[in-house]
């Protein structure tokens, strides 16, 4: 009986210490996320940094070669639930605007074979860039998380950014694309 009481007390102490630790980590995360958002994320009216990335098809994509076209960059990963949930919206919009807007899904830090399998399983057809070391996301298009979507107008200027996913993303991204198209 005594050993059961000791086990219960130790279990309660463990749970309490884990909760205290979680609160501490969450406070640090909120502080860190706020700093990134305020100081480092790109904003509307910033010029989009140029980059070249290998596409899943083996071709390359260089942003500056697409001046004159609205470009939507969507940073994502297969392990990211909100990213995966948002991808059908990106697919639908890429089909809807196929003749006027270029969509590039920018996979962040994953093995190309895993990405290829994932894309084929789900039937996505828009171009997929392979930011294998997360360099483009970390240094040129930093955000505190993914999914992260950047709308770039035909002049190469960022007109909007979206962090996260959700049911309202289709309408928000569509409105931002319409604004970028002028």
pLDDT tens digits along 138-165: 999 999 889 999 999 999 999 999 998 8
What's the rounded Cα separation, in Å, for the pair 82 and 21? 25
Catalytic residue among 41, 80, 157, 163: 80
As a whole number of angstroms, the distance between CA 153 and CA 132 comes to 26
The mean of the pLDDT values for the chain is 86
Catalytic residue among 53, 70, 71, 83: 83
pLDDT grade, residue 166 (50/70/90)? confident
Residue 16 banded pLDDT, cuts 50, 70, 90: low
pLDDT for the residue numbered 128: 98
Can 83 be counted among the known catalytic residues? yes
As its CATH architecture, domain 52-181 has 3-Layer(aba) Sandwich (3.40)
Is 114 in the active site?
no
Q: What is the pLDDT of residue 13?
A: 63
Q: What is the residue extent of each domain of the chain?
A: 1-39, 52-181
What DSSP state is assigned to residue 43?
-
Q: What percent of the chain has pLDDT over 70?
A: 82
């Amino acid at each position: 009986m005594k050993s059961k009481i000791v086990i219960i007390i130790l279990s309660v102490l463990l749970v309490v210490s884990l909760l205290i630790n979680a609160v501490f980590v969450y406070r640090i995360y909120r502080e860190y996320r706020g700093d990134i958002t305020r100081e480092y994320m790109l904003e509307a009216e910033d010029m989009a940094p140029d980059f070249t990335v290998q596409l899943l098809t083996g071709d390359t994509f260089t942003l500056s070669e697409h001046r004159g076209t609205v470009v939507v960059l969507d940073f994502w990963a297969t392990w990211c639930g909100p990213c995966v949930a948002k991808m059908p919206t990106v697919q639908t919009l890429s089909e809807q605007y196929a003749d006027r807007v270029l969509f590039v899904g920018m996979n962040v830090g994953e093995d190309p074979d895993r990405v290829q399998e994932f894309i084929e399983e789900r039937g996505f057809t828009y171009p997929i860039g392979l930011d294998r070391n997360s360099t483009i996301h970390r240094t040129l298009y930093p955000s505190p998380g993914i999914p992260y979507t950047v709308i770039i107008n035909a002049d190469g200027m960022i007109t909007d950014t979206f962090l996260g996913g959700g049911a309202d993303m289709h309408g928000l991204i569509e409105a931002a694309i319409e604004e970028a198209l002028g």
